[in-house]
Amino acid sequence: MDTIDEKIKAIINHFQLNNFSFSKRIGVTGTTIDSIVNGRPQADGSRKKTKPGYDVLSAIIEEFNINPDYLFGRSTVMLKDDVSLIQTYSGVPQVIAVNQDNEENVVYVPIKARAGYLDGYGDTEYIETLPSFHMPQLTNGTFRCFEVQGNSMVRTFFDGDLVFGKYVENLSEVKDGRVYVIVSKNDGIVLKRVINRSDKRGKLILKSDNKDGNYPTYTIDIEDIMEVWYVTMFASKQMPEPVDVYDRLHELESQLFELKESINDKALKN
Protein backbone atom coordinates (compact mmCIF):
# COMPACT_ATOMS: atom_id res chain seq x y z
CA MET A 1 0.00 0.00 0.00
CA ASP A 2 1.31 3.44 -0.91
CA THR A 3 2.21 5.76 1.96
CA ILE A 4 0.53 9.14 2.23
CA ASP A 5 3.61 10.96 0.87
CA GLU A 6 3.53 8.68 -2.17
CA LYS A 7 -0.14 9.46 -2.64
CA ILE A 8 0.54 13.20 -2.50
CA LYS A 9 3.33 12.73 -5.03
CA ALA A 10 0.89 10.87 -7.28
CA ILE A 11 -1.57 13.79 -7.01
CA ILE A 12 1.17 16.23 -7.97
CA ASN A 13 2.07 14.12 -11.00
CA HIS A 14 -1.57 13.63 -11.96
CA PHE A 15 -2.07 17.38 -12.27
CA GLN A 16 1.33 17.78 -13.97
CA LEU A 17 2.69 20.13 -11.33
CA ASN A 18 5.98 20.43 -9.46
CA ASN A 19 6.32 20.74 -5.71
CA PHE A 20 6.50 24.54 -5.80
CA SER A 21 3.44 25.10 -8.01
CA PHE A 22 1.52 22.50 -6.02
CA SER A 23 2.36 24.26 -2.75
CA LYS A 24 1.11 27.59 -4.11
CA ARG A 25 -2.23 26.00 -5.08
CA ILE A 26 -2.84 24.84 -1.52
CA GLY A 27 -1.39 27.89 0.24
CA VAL A 28 1.77 26.48 1.85
CA THR A 29 5.46 26.92 1.20
CA GLY A 30 7.42 24.84 -1.25
CA THR A 31 9.62 23.71 1.64
CA THR A 32 6.58 22.19 3.35
CA ILE A 33 5.78 20.03 0.34
CA ASP A 34 9.44 19.13 -0.18
CA SER A 35 9.67 17.92 3.41
CA ILE A 36 6.56 15.76 2.94
CA VAL A 37 7.45 14.27 -0.43
CA ASN A 38 11.27 14.18 -0.35
CA GLY A 39 12.07 14.55 3.36
CA ARG A 40 14.33 16.88 5.34
CA PRO A 41 18.10 16.24 5.23
CA GLN A 42 19.47 14.74 8.46
CA ALA A 43 22.95 14.97 9.96
CA ASP A 44 23.72 11.39 8.99
CA GLY A 45 22.91 12.11 5.35
CA SER A 46 19.48 10.46 5.40
CA ARG A 47 16.22 12.24 4.77
CA LYS A 48 13.27 12.22 7.18
CA LYS A 49 9.86 12.79 5.69
CA THR A 50 7.36 15.01 7.48
CA LYS A 51 3.82 13.80 7.99
CA PRO A 52 1.26 16.22 6.51
CA GLY A 53 -0.97 17.96 9.02
CA TYR A 54 -4.74 18.28 8.96
CA ASP A 55 -4.65 21.74 7.32
CA VAL A 56 -2.46 20.51 4.48
CA LEU A 57 -4.61 17.45 3.83
CA SER A 58 -7.81 19.51 3.94
CA ALA A 59 -6.38 22.01 1.47
CA ILE A 60 -5.35 19.22 -0.94
CA ILE A 61 -8.80 17.62 -0.76
CA GLU A 62 -10.56 20.95 -1.30
CA GLU A 63 -8.33 22.39 -4.02
CA PHE A 64 -8.03 19.28 -6.17
CA ASN A 65 -11.35 17.58 -5.33
CA ILE A 66 -9.55 14.55 -3.95
CA ASN A 67 -11.35 11.51 -2.53
CA PRO A 68 -10.39 11.51 1.20
CA ASP A 69 -10.47 7.70 1.28
CA TYR A 70 -7.68 7.70 -1.31
CA LEU A 71 -5.35 9.71 0.93
CA PHE A 72 -6.04 7.50 3.95
CA GLY A 73 -5.62 4.18 2.17
CA ARG A 74 -9.27 3.12 2.06
CA SER A 75 -9.67 3.52 -1.70
CA THR A 76 -7.59 3.44 -4.87
CA VAL A 77 -9.80 6.09 -6.52
CA MET A 78 -8.04 9.45 -6.42
CA LEU A 79 -10.74 11.91 -7.50
CA LYS A 80 -14.15 12.42 -5.92
CA ASP A 81 -15.73 12.62 -9.36
CA ASP A 82 -14.56 9.09 -10.08
CA VAL A 83 -15.98 7.61 -6.91
CA SER A 84 -18.94 5.31 -7.61
CA LEU A 85 -22.26 6.66 -6.44
CA ILE A 86 -23.31 3.19 -5.29
CA GLN A 87 -24.44 3.27 -1.68
CA THR A 88 -22.79 0.82 0.71
CA TYR A 89 -24.83 -0.65 3.50
CA SER A 90 -24.22 1.00 6.86
CA GLY A 91 -23.30 -1.26 9.76
CA VAL A 92 -25.13 0.94 12.26
CA PRO A 93 -28.43 2.86 12.14
CA GLN A 94 -27.84 6.47 11.24
CA VAL A 95 -30.06 7.73 14.08
CA ILE A 96 -31.11 6.16 17.37
CA ALA A 97 -33.39 7.44 20.15
CA VAL A 98 -32.65 7.24 23.88
CA ASN A 99 -34.64 7.91 27.04
CA GLN A 100 -33.65 9.95 30.09
CA ASP A 101 -31.66 7.00 31.45
CA ASN A 102 -29.64 6.85 28.24
CA GLU A 103 -31.32 3.56 27.27
CA GLU A 104 -32.25 3.05 23.63
CA ASN A 105 -35.89 3.61 22.79
CA VAL A 106 -37.86 1.77 20.14
CA VAL A 107 -38.86 4.25 17.43
CA TYR A 108 -42.37 3.63 16.08
CA VAL A 109 -43.02 4.13 12.35
CA PRO A 110 -46.78 4.20 11.67
CA ILE A 111 -48.21 3.83 8.17
CA LYS A 112 -48.82 7.58 7.84
CA ALA A 113 -45.12 8.27 8.52
CA ARG A 114 -43.74 5.86 5.93
CA ALA A 115 -43.24 8.38 3.13
CA GLY A 116 -41.40 10.78 5.40
CA TYR A 117 -39.27 8.00 6.86
CA LEU A 118 -37.67 7.29 3.48
CA ASP A 119 -36.24 10.81 3.40
CA GLY A 120 -35.72 11.25 7.12
CA TYR A 121 -34.41 7.89 8.37
CA GLY A 122 -30.98 9.50 8.77
CA ASP A 123 -32.24 12.85 10.05
CA THR A 124 -32.10 13.24 13.83
CA GLU A 125 -34.74 15.97 13.87
CA TYR A 126 -37.16 13.85 11.85
CA ILE A 127 -36.67 10.73 13.98
CA GLU A 128 -37.39 12.84 17.07
CA THR A 129 -40.85 13.64 15.65
CA LEU A 130 -41.79 9.93 15.65
CA PRO A 131 -43.22 8.24 18.76
CA SER A 132 -40.69 6.25 20.76
CA PHE A 133 -40.84 4.06 23.86
CA HIS A 134 -38.66 1.77 25.94
CA MET A 135 -39.21 -1.99 26.02
CA PRO A 136 -37.07 -3.90 28.53
CA GLN A 137 -37.63 -7.13 26.54
CA LEU A 138 -35.78 -5.69 23.55
CA THR A 139 -32.09 -5.40 24.38
CA ASN A 140 -28.69 -6.03 22.79
CA GLY A 141 -29.38 -4.08 19.63
CA THR A 142 -31.29 -1.24 18.07
CA PHE A 143 -34.98 -1.92 17.50
CA ARG A 144 -37.67 -0.20 15.47
CA CYS A 145 -41.42 -0.80 15.34
CA PHE A 146 -43.23 -0.71 11.98
CA GLU A 147 -46.96 -0.81 11.34
CA VAL A 148 -47.85 -3.45 8.76
CA GLN A 149 -49.53 -2.16 5.61
CA GLY A 150 -51.43 -4.37 3.18
CA ASN A 151 -52.09 -8.09 2.91
CA SER A 152 -48.96 -9.47 1.27
CA MET A 153 -47.98 -11.34 4.44
CA VAL A 154 -51.45 -12.56 5.41
CA ARG A 155 -51.40 -15.92 7.21
CA THR A 156 -48.49 -14.53 9.25
CA PHE A 157 -49.11 -10.77 9.63
CA PHE A 158 -52.18 -8.66 8.97
CA ASP A 159 -52.80 -5.06 7.96
CA GLY A 160 -52.34 -2.90 11.06
CA ASP A 161 -50.19 -5.38 12.99
CA LEU A 162 -47.02 -4.09 14.65
CA VAL A 163 -43.69 -5.78 13.99
CA PHE A 164 -40.55 -5.15 16.03
CA GLY A 165 -37.32 -5.36 14.08
CA LYS A 166 -33.69 -5.52 15.21
CA TYR A 167 -31.24 -3.63 13.00
CA VAL A 168 -29.13 -5.96 10.85
CA GLU A 169 -25.52 -4.77 11.01
CA ASN A 170 -24.27 -6.78 8.04
CA LEU A 171 -26.25 -8.13 5.08
CA SER A 172 -24.35 -11.41 5.35
CA GLU A 173 -26.28 -11.96 8.61
CA VAL A 174 -29.63 -12.11 6.78
CA LYS A 175 -30.84 -15.71 7.12
CA ASP A 176 -32.89 -17.52 4.49
CA GLY A 177 -36.57 -17.90 5.25
CA ARG A 178 -36.71 -15.31 8.05
CA VAL A 179 -38.96 -12.24 7.99
CA TYR A 180 -37.41 -8.78 7.65
CA VAL A 181 -38.45 -5.18 7.16
CA ILE A 182 -36.54 -3.86 4.15
CA VAL A 183 -36.19 -0.09 3.65
CA SER A 184 -35.09 0.74 0.12
CA LYS A 185 -34.90 3.69 -2.25
CA ASN A 186 -37.20 2.22 -4.89
CA ASP A 187 -39.68 0.05 -2.96
CA GLY A 188 -39.99 2.01 0.28
CA ILE A 189 -40.75 -0.02 3.40
CA VAL A 190 -41.73 -3.65 2.83
CA LEU A 191 -42.24 -6.64 5.10
CA LYS A 192 -41.09 -9.85 3.41
CA ARG A 193 -39.64 -13.29 3.89
CA VAL A 194 -36.09 -13.13 2.53
CA ILE A 195 -33.66 -15.38 0.69
CA ASN A 196 -30.14 -13.95 0.91
CA ARG A 197 -28.10 -13.87 -2.28
CA SER A 198 -26.12 -10.73 -1.43
CA ASP A 199 -22.71 -12.44 -1.68
CA LYS A 200 -23.26 -14.39 -4.89
CA ARG A 201 -25.58 -12.11 -6.86
CA GLY A 202 -25.68 -8.82 -4.96
CA LYS A 203 -29.42 -9.25 -4.37
CA LEU A 204 -32.03 -10.24 -1.82
CA ILE A 205 -35.01 -12.34 -2.93
CA LEU A 206 -38.24 -11.10 -1.32
CA LYS A 207 -41.22 -13.46 -0.89
CA SER A 208 -44.75 -12.96 0.41
CA ASP A 209 -46.57 -15.38 2.70
CA ASN A 210 -49.88 -14.61 0.95
CA LYS A 211 -50.18 -17.20 -1.84
CA ASP A 212 -53.27 -15.88 -3.63
CA GLY A 213 -51.20 -14.99 -6.71
CA ASN A 214 -51.27 -11.21 -6.28
CA TYR A 215 -47.89 -10.94 -4.58
CA PRO A 216 -45.13 -12.36 -6.80
CA THR A 217 -41.61 -13.01 -5.57
CA TYR A 218 -39.06 -10.40 -6.69
CA THR A 219 -35.44 -9.34 -6.12
CA ILE A 220 -33.87 -6.15 -4.82
CA ASP A 221 -30.29 -4.96 -5.45
CA ILE A 222 -28.26 -4.41 -2.31
CA GLU A 223 -27.25 -0.98 -3.65
CA ASP A 224 -30.87 0.11 -3.21
CA ILE A 225 -31.12 -1.03 0.41
CA MET A 226 -30.95 1.59 3.14
CA GLU A 227 -31.96 -0.41 6.21
CA VAL A 228 -32.79 -4.02 7.12
CA TRP A 229 -34.61 -4.97 10.35
CA TYR A 230 -34.97 -8.59 11.49
CA VAL A 231 -38.47 -9.17 12.87
CA THR A 232 -38.12 -10.65 16.36
CA MET A 233 -41.58 -9.94 17.81
CA PHE A 234 -45.00 -8.73 16.74
CA ALA A 235 -48.31 -7.55 18.17
CA SER A 236 -51.64 -8.18 16.49
CA LYS A 237 -55.30 -7.35 17.01
CA GLN A 238 -56.21 -10.33 14.83
CA MET A 239 -57.06 -13.65 16.42
CA PRO A 240 -55.72 -16.37 14.12
CA GLU A 241 -58.25 -18.54 12.37
CA PRO A 242 -58.08 -22.27 13.23
CA VAL A 243 -56.17 -24.25 10.66
CA ASP A 244 -57.82 -27.16 8.81
CA VAL A 245 -56.48 -29.87 11.10
CA TYR A 246 -58.17 -28.24 14.07
CA ASP A 247 -61.42 -27.93 12.12
CA ARG A 248 -61.35 -31.70 11.47
CA LEU A 249 -60.51 -32.45 15.10
CA HIS A 250 -63.39 -30.26 16.29
CA GLU A 251 -65.78 -32.05 13.91
CA LEU A 252 -64.59 -35.49 15.07
CA GLU A 253 -64.90 -34.43 18.70
CA SER A 254 -68.47 -33.27 18.07
CA GLN A 255 -69.38 -36.52 16.36
CA LEU A 256 -67.96 -38.57 19.23
CA PHE A 257 -69.84 -36.45 21.74
CA GLU A 258 -73.10 -36.88 19.82
CA LEU A 259 -72.49 -40.65 19.52
CA LYS A 260 -71.84 -40.90 23.25
CA GLU A 261 -75.06 -39.01 24.03
CA SER A 262 -77.01 -41.25 21.62
CA ILE A 263 -75.69 -44.41 23.32
CA ASN A 264 -76.55 -43.01 26.74
CA ASP A 265 -80.08 -42.15 25.61
CA LYS A 266 -80.64 -45.69 24.29
CA ALA A 267 -79.30 -47.20 27.51
CA LEU A 268 -81.73 -45.12 29.58
CA LYS A 269 -84.69 -46.16 27.43
CA ASN A 270 -83.85 -49.85 27.84
Label residue 85 by pLDDT band (50, 70, 90). Answer: very low
Distances (CA, A) of 39 to 5, 18, 49, 220, 266: 10, 15, 4, 51, 113
User: Which positions ≥6 away from 133 have C-beta within 8 Å?
Assistant: 105, 106, 108
In a domain, 91, yes or no: no
User: CA angle, corner 203, sides to 199 and 207, nearest 5?
Assistant: 125
In a domain, 141, yes or no: yes
Rounded Cα gap, residues 77 and 114, in angstroms: 36
In a domain, 87, yes or no: no
Task: Check pLDDT > 60 for residue 243.
Answer: no
Note whether 104 and 122 are same-domain residues: yes
Which of the listed residues 54, 82, 110 is the one where a domain comes to its end? 82
Note whether 196 and 70 are same-domain residues: no
Label residue 133 by pLDDT band (50, 70, 90). Answer: very high
Which CATH number covers residue 132?
2.10.109.10
The string of pLDDT tens digits covering residues 196-218 is 998 888 889 999 999 888 999 99
Beta strands in the chain (DSSP E): 40-41, 47-48, 97-98, 104-109, 132-133, 143-147, 162-167, 179-184, 188-197, 203-207, 218-221, 225-235
Note whether 108 and 227 are same-domain residues: yes
Mean pLDDT across the chain: 87
Note whether 230 and 102 are same-domain residues: yes
Note whether 157 and 65 are same-domain residues: no
For the segment 132-157, the average pLDDT, to the nearest whole number, is 91
Which of the listed residues 82, 107, 128 is the one where a domain comes to its end? 82
Is 143:201 a contact under the CB 8 Å cutoff? no
Note whether 114 and 136 are same-domain residues: yes
Domain that holds residue 41: 4-82
Rounded Cα gap, residues 256 and 132, in angstroms: 52
Number of structural domains the chain divides into: 3
